[in-house]
A = this chain, B = another copy of it.
Amino acid sequence: LMAIAPSAQGAEVLASWNEGEAKQSIVRFVESVSKEGSADFVPVPERIAVFDNDGTLWGEQPMYFQLLFALDRVKALAPQHPEWNTQDPFASLLKGDVKAALAGGEHAILEVVMAAHSGMTTDEFEKIVRDWFASAKHPKTGKPYTEMIYQPMLELLDYLRANGFKTFIASGGGIEFVRVFSEQVYGIPPEQVIGSSGKMKFELKGDQMVLNKLPEVDFIDDKAGKPVAIQKHIGRRPIAAFGNSDGDLQMLQWTCSGPGPHFCLYVHHTDGEREWAYDRQSSIGRLDKGLDAAADSGWTVVDMEKDWNRVFAFEK
Protein backbone atom coordinates (compact mmCIF):
# COMPACT_ATOMS: atom_id res chain seq x y z
CA LEU A 1 0.00 0.00 0.00
CA MET A 2 2.81 2.40 0.96
CA ALA A 3 4.44 1.71 -2.38
CA ILE A 4 1.32 2.67 -4.29
CA ALA A 5 0.51 5.93 -2.54
CA PRO A 6 3.24 8.15 -4.04
CA SER A 7 2.57 6.80 -7.51
CA ALA A 8 -1.08 7.77 -7.20
CA GLN A 9 0.03 11.22 -6.08
CA GLY A 10 2.21 11.53 -9.15
CA ALA A 11 -0.64 10.44 -11.42
CA GLU A 12 -2.93 13.01 -9.87
CA VAL A 13 -0.50 15.90 -9.97
CA LEU A 14 0.61 15.13 -13.52
CA ALA A 15 -2.96 15.41 -14.82
CA SER A 16 -2.01 16.77 -18.26
CA TRP A 17 0.30 13.83 -18.90
CA ASN A 18 -1.12 10.79 -20.67
CA GLU A 19 -0.27 7.37 -19.32
CA GLY A 20 2.82 6.06 -21.04
CA GLU A 21 6.55 5.57 -20.71
CA ALA A 22 7.39 9.30 -20.43
CA LYS A 23 5.10 9.86 -17.45
CA GLN A 24 6.03 6.53 -15.88
CA SER A 25 9.74 7.24 -16.14
CA ILE A 26 9.26 10.54 -14.28
CA VAL A 27 7.20 9.00 -11.49
CA ARG A 28 9.59 6.05 -11.17
CA PHE A 29 12.58 8.35 -10.80
CA VAL A 30 10.96 10.76 -8.33
CA GLU A 31 9.70 7.92 -6.16
CA SER A 32 13.03 6.11 -6.15
CA VAL A 33 15.06 9.14 -5.00
CA SER A 34 12.52 10.43 -2.48
CA LYS A 35 11.54 7.22 -0.72
CA GLU A 36 13.45 6.91 2.55
CA GLY A 37 15.26 3.59 2.63
CA SER A 38 15.22 3.19 -1.16
CA ALA A 39 18.56 2.15 -2.66
CA ASP A 40 18.43 5.28 -4.82
CA PHE A 41 17.40 7.64 -2.01
CA VAL A 42 18.86 11.15 -2.41
CA PRO A 43 18.88 13.62 0.54
CA VAL A 44 16.65 16.67 -0.01
CA PRO A 45 19.47 19.26 -0.36
CA GLU A 46 20.88 17.27 -3.28
CA ARG A 47 17.58 17.05 -5.16
CA ILE A 48 18.47 19.71 -7.69
CA ALA A 49 16.51 19.89 -10.96
CA VAL A 50 17.42 22.22 -13.84
CA PHE A 51 15.07 23.30 -16.62
CA ASP A 52 15.80 24.98 -19.89
CA ASN A 53 13.17 27.66 -20.56
CA ASP A 54 12.56 28.40 -24.29
CA GLY A 55 10.80 25.41 -25.84
CA THR A 56 10.94 23.47 -22.56
CA LEU A 57 8.76 25.50 -20.18
CA TRP A 58 7.19 27.89 -22.66
CA GLY A 59 6.98 28.29 -26.44
CA GLU A 60 9.71 29.59 -28.71
CA GLN A 61 7.92 29.95 -32.06
CA PRO A 62 7.65 31.78 -34.44
CA MET A 63 10.82 33.10 -32.75
CA TYR A 64 12.26 33.42 -29.22
CA PHE A 65 9.87 35.59 -27.19
CA GLN A 66 12.78 37.61 -25.86
CA LEU A 67 13.71 38.50 -29.42
CA LEU A 68 10.13 39.69 -29.99
CA PHE A 69 10.56 41.84 -26.88
CA ALA A 70 13.83 43.23 -28.29
CA LEU A 71 12.16 44.05 -31.62
CA ASP A 72 9.35 45.91 -29.85
CA ARG A 73 11.90 47.70 -27.70
CA VAL A 74 13.90 48.88 -30.72
CA LYS A 75 10.72 50.33 -32.23
CA ALA A 76 9.96 52.14 -28.96
CA LEU A 77 13.50 53.54 -28.82
CA ALA A 78 13.68 54.54 -32.50
CA PRO A 79 12.70 58.22 -32.02
CA GLN A 80 15.82 58.66 -29.85
CA HIS A 81 18.01 57.00 -32.52
CA PRO A 82 17.57 58.78 -35.88
CA GLU A 83 20.75 57.00 -37.09
CA TRP A 84 18.84 53.69 -37.02
CA ASN A 85 16.80 54.82 -40.06
CA THR A 86 19.80 54.13 -42.27
CA GLN A 87 21.63 51.41 -40.30
CA ASP A 88 20.80 47.74 -40.54
CA PRO A 89 19.55 45.70 -38.77
CA PHE A 90 17.59 48.64 -37.36
CA ALA A 91 16.56 50.22 -40.68
CA SER A 92 14.97 47.01 -42.03
CA LEU A 93 13.35 46.37 -38.70
CA LEU A 94 11.78 49.83 -38.54
CA LYS A 95 10.44 49.36 -42.07
CA GLY A 96 8.70 46.23 -40.74
CA ASP A 97 10.95 43.76 -42.53
CA VAL A 98 12.00 41.51 -39.63
CA LYS A 99 13.31 38.83 -41.97
CA ALA A 100 15.74 41.22 -43.67
CA ALA A 101 16.74 42.66 -40.30
CA LEU A 102 17.68 39.25 -38.97
CA ALA A 103 19.32 38.10 -42.20
CA GLY A 104 22.61 39.32 -40.70
CA GLY A 105 22.46 36.29 -38.41
CA GLU A 106 23.93 36.20 -34.92
CA HIS A 107 25.65 39.55 -35.29
CA ALA A 108 22.41 41.32 -36.26
CA ILE A 109 20.50 39.60 -33.48
CA LEU A 110 23.15 40.60 -30.95
CA GLU A 111 22.93 44.24 -32.06
CA VAL A 112 19.17 44.27 -31.60
CA VAL A 113 19.39 42.48 -28.26
CA MET A 114 22.11 44.82 -26.95
CA ALA A 115 20.12 47.91 -27.98
CA ALA A 116 17.15 46.56 -26.05
CA HIS A 117 19.01 45.25 -23.00
CA SER A 118 21.57 47.89 -22.07
CA GLY A 119 21.78 51.60 -21.36
CA MET A 120 19.53 51.41 -18.31
CA THR A 121 19.74 50.29 -14.69
CA THR A 122 18.67 46.82 -13.58
CA ASP A 123 15.63 48.35 -11.86
CA GLU A 124 14.63 50.23 -15.02
CA PHE A 125 15.05 47.11 -17.14
CA GLU A 126 12.81 45.10 -14.85
CA LYS A 127 10.06 47.69 -15.21
CA ILE A 128 10.42 47.82 -19.01
CA VAL A 129 10.08 44.04 -19.27
CA ARG A 130 7.20 43.94 -16.79
CA ASP A 131 5.32 46.59 -18.78
CA TRP A 132 5.95 44.69 -22.02
CA PHE A 133 4.55 41.46 -20.59
CA ALA A 134 1.47 43.35 -19.40
CA SER A 135 0.52 44.37 -22.95
CA ALA A 136 2.32 42.22 -25.55
CA LYS A 137 0.46 39.34 -27.19
CA HIS A 138 1.73 36.24 -28.96
CA PRO A 139 1.36 36.72 -32.77
CA LYS A 140 -0.36 33.36 -33.33
CA THR A 141 -2.48 32.69 -30.24
CA GLY A 142 -3.13 36.30 -29.21
CA LYS A 143 -2.40 35.30 -25.62
CA PRO A 144 -0.02 37.10 -23.24
CA TYR A 145 3.41 35.44 -23.37
CA THR A 146 3.08 34.45 -19.72
CA GLU A 147 0.23 32.14 -20.78
CA MET A 148 2.33 30.42 -23.46
CA ILE A 149 3.49 28.05 -20.72
CA TYR A 150 3.31 24.28 -21.07
CA GLN A 151 0.77 23.10 -18.51
CA PRO A 152 2.35 19.60 -18.19
CA MET A 153 5.70 21.19 -17.33
CA LEU A 154 4.09 23.40 -14.67
CA GLU A 155 2.65 20.22 -13.15
CA LEU A 156 6.07 18.60 -13.35
CA LEU A 157 7.66 21.55 -11.51
CA ASP A 158 5.01 21.24 -8.79
CA TYR A 159 5.43 17.48 -8.58
CA LEU A 160 9.20 17.75 -8.17
CA ARG A 161 8.92 20.46 -5.52
CA ALA A 162 6.29 18.47 -3.65
CA ASN A 163 8.92 15.73 -3.47
CA GLY A 164 11.68 17.90 -2.04
CA PHE A 165 13.33 19.07 -5.26
CA LYS A 166 14.70 22.58 -5.66
CA THR A 167 13.87 23.71 -9.20
CA PHE A 168 16.17 25.96 -11.22
CA ILE A 169 15.95 27.47 -14.68
CA ALA A 170 19.10 27.30 -16.83
CA SER A 171 18.13 29.33 -19.87
CA GLY A 172 20.01 30.43 -22.96
CA GLY A 173 17.79 33.52 -22.67
CA GLY A 174 18.66 36.56 -20.61
CA ILE A 175 18.79 35.99 -16.88
CA GLU A 176 17.21 39.36 -16.01
CA PHE A 177 14.47 38.88 -18.60
CA VAL A 178 13.42 35.47 -17.29
CA ARG A 179 13.56 36.62 -13.66
CA VAL A 180 10.81 39.15 -14.28
CA PHE A 181 8.16 36.43 -14.65
CA SER A 182 9.72 33.22 -13.28
CA GLU A 183 8.48 33.59 -9.72
CA GLN A 184 4.89 34.44 -10.61
CA VAL A 185 4.59 32.00 -13.51
CA TYR A 186 6.77 29.03 -12.50
CA GLY A 187 7.14 29.53 -8.75
CA ILE A 188 10.90 29.85 -9.32
CA PRO A 189 12.43 32.82 -7.45
CA PRO A 190 15.06 35.03 -9.15
CA GLU A 191 17.93 33.43 -7.21
CA GLN A 192 17.06 30.10 -8.87
CA VAL A 193 17.26 31.50 -12.40
CA ILE A 194 20.46 31.01 -14.42
CA GLY A 195 20.80 32.51 -17.88
CA SER A 196 22.84 34.50 -20.34
CA SER A 197 23.94 37.88 -19.07
CA GLY A 198 25.44 41.21 -19.98
CA LYS A 199 28.06 42.99 -17.93
CA MET A 200 26.96 45.42 -15.23
CA LYS A 201 28.61 48.34 -13.49
CA PHE A 202 27.95 49.59 -9.98
CA GLU A 203 27.95 53.38 -10.03
CA LEU A 204 26.43 56.58 -8.84
CA LYS A 205 23.50 57.96 -10.87
CA GLY A 206 22.35 61.30 -9.52
CA ASP A 207 22.42 60.62 -5.78
CA GLN A 208 21.59 56.91 -6.14
CA MET A 209 23.83 53.85 -6.33
CA VAL A 210 22.68 51.79 -9.32
CA LEU A 211 23.71 48.80 -11.39
CA ASN A 212 23.96 49.93 -15.00
CA LYS A 213 23.52 47.36 -17.76
CA LEU A 214 26.41 47.64 -20.25
CA PRO A 215 26.28 46.72 -23.97
CA GLU A 216 28.73 43.88 -23.47
CA VAL A 217 28.12 40.14 -23.22
CA ASP A 218 29.16 38.62 -19.90
CA PHE A 219 28.18 34.97 -20.34
CA ILE A 220 26.28 32.88 -22.87
CA ASP A 221 24.42 30.14 -21.04
CA ASP A 222 24.17 27.66 -23.90
CA LYS A 223 25.78 24.34 -24.87
CA ALA A 224 29.03 23.78 -22.88
CA GLY A 225 28.26 27.03 -21.05
CA LYS A 226 25.30 25.43 -19.28
CA PRO A 227 27.24 23.03 -17.04
CA VAL A 228 29.68 25.85 -16.25
CA ALA A 229 26.89 28.26 -15.31
CA ILE A 230 25.13 25.57 -13.29
CA GLN A 231 28.30 24.95 -11.30
CA LYS A 232 28.84 28.69 -10.79
CA HIS A 233 25.32 29.27 -9.51
CA ILE A 234 24.43 26.04 -7.77
CA GLY A 235 27.80 24.49 -6.94
CA ARG A 236 26.32 21.04 -7.04
CA ARG A 237 25.63 18.67 -9.93
CA PRO A 238 21.88 18.44 -10.66
CA ILE A 239 20.23 15.01 -10.51
CA ALA A 240 17.52 15.89 -13.04
CA ALA A 241 17.66 17.98 -16.22
CA PHE A 242 14.99 18.97 -18.73
CA GLY A 243 15.60 20.50 -22.14
CA ASN A 244 14.39 20.58 -25.72
CA SER A 245 17.35 21.29 -28.00
CA ASP A 246 20.98 20.62 -28.79
CA GLY A 247 21.78 23.68 -26.65
CA ASP A 248 20.81 21.56 -23.64
CA LEU A 249 22.89 18.52 -24.58
CA GLN A 250 25.86 19.31 -22.34
CA MET A 251 23.56 20.13 -19.42
CA LEU A 252 21.95 16.72 -19.80
CA GLN A 253 25.32 15.00 -20.22
CA TRP A 254 26.62 16.67 -17.06
CA THR A 255 23.52 15.73 -15.07
CA CYS A 256 23.28 12.17 -16.34
CA SER A 257 26.96 11.32 -15.97
CA GLY A 258 26.76 11.97 -12.23
CA PRO A 259 27.70 9.13 -9.89
CA GLY A 260 24.28 8.76 -8.23
CA PRO A 261 20.71 8.43 -9.52
CA HIS A 262 19.87 10.89 -12.28
CA PHE A 263 17.18 11.66 -14.84
CA CYS A 264 17.34 13.42 -18.20
CA LEU A 265 14.41 14.38 -20.39
CA TYR A 266 13.97 16.02 -23.77
CA VAL A 267 10.72 17.68 -24.81
CA HIS A 268 10.24 16.80 -28.50
CA HIS A 269 8.04 19.26 -30.41
CA THR A 270 5.84 16.87 -32.41
CA ASP A 271 2.48 18.61 -32.26
CA GLY A 272 1.95 20.85 -35.29
CA GLU A 273 -1.73 21.20 -34.41
CA ARG A 274 -1.71 22.40 -30.83
CA GLU A 275 1.82 23.81 -30.89
CA TRP A 276 4.63 23.48 -33.46
CA ALA A 277 6.40 20.46 -34.92
CA TYR A 278 10.17 20.81 -35.44
CA ASP A 279 13.42 19.08 -34.58
CA ARG A 280 16.52 18.19 -36.60
CA GLN A 281 16.25 20.93 -39.26
CA SER A 282 14.89 23.82 -37.23
CA SER A 283 16.94 27.01 -36.83
CA ILE A 284 15.11 27.66 -33.56
CA GLY A 285 15.41 24.94 -30.93
CA ARG A 286 17.19 22.44 -33.17
CA LEU A 287 17.05 18.94 -31.66
CA ASP A 288 19.38 16.73 -33.67
CA LYS A 289 22.45 15.51 -31.77
CA GLY A 290 20.26 15.55 -28.69
CA LEU A 291 17.79 13.07 -30.17
CA ASP A 292 20.64 10.69 -30.98
CA ALA A 293 22.17 11.11 -27.52
CA ALA A 294 18.79 10.45 -25.89
CA ALA A 295 18.40 7.21 -27.84
CA ASP A 296 21.95 6.14 -27.00
CA SER A 297 21.66 7.01 -23.32
CA GLY A 298 18.10 5.91 -22.60
CA TRP A 299 16.92 9.41 -21.70
CA THR A 300 13.20 10.11 -21.70
CA VAL A 301 11.88 11.80 -24.85
CA VAL A 302 8.47 13.43 -24.50
CA ASP A 303 6.35 13.20 -27.64
CA MET A 304 4.22 16.30 -27.13
CA GLU A 305 1.43 15.07 -29.36
CA LYS A 306 1.18 11.66 -27.69
CA ASP A 307 2.28 12.30 -24.13
CA TRP A 308 0.44 15.53 -23.30
CA ASN A 309 -3.35 15.70 -23.19
CA ARG A 310 -3.12 19.46 -22.81
CA VAL A 311 -0.36 21.80 -23.97
CA PHE A 312 -1.48 25.24 -22.71
CA ALA A 313 -3.70 26.02 -19.73
CA PHE A 314 -5.94 28.19 -21.93
CA GLU A 315 -6.99 25.15 -23.98
CA LYS A 316 -10.26 23.51 -23.05
Q: Interface of A with B (CB < 8 Å)? A: 45, 48, 122, 166, 168, 175-176, 179, 183, 189-193, 197, 200-203, 208-209, 211, 218, 224, 227-228, 231-236, 250, 253-254, 257
Contact = CB atoms under 8 A, between A and B. Distances in A.
B235 A193 contact: yes
Contact of A45 (B189, B231, B250): B189
A181 B53 CA distance: 32
A115 B179 CA distance: 37
> Quick one: copies of this chain in the complex?
2
A270 to B, nearest CB: 28
25 contacts: A45-B189, A122-B231, A166-B191, A175-B232, A176-B235, A179-B235, A190-B234, A190-B236, A191-B191, A191-B235, A197-B232, A200-B228, A200-B231, A201-B228, A202-B224, A202-B227, A202-B228, A208-B257, A209-B227, A209-B254, A209-B257, A211-B228, A211-B231, A218-B232, A233-B233
Nearest to A256: B209
A233 B193 CA distance: 8
A120 to B, nearest CB: 14
Nearest to A168: B191
A231 B190 CA distance: 10
Contacts of A250: 202, 209
Nearest to A231: B211
A254 B191 contact: no
B254 A227 contact: no
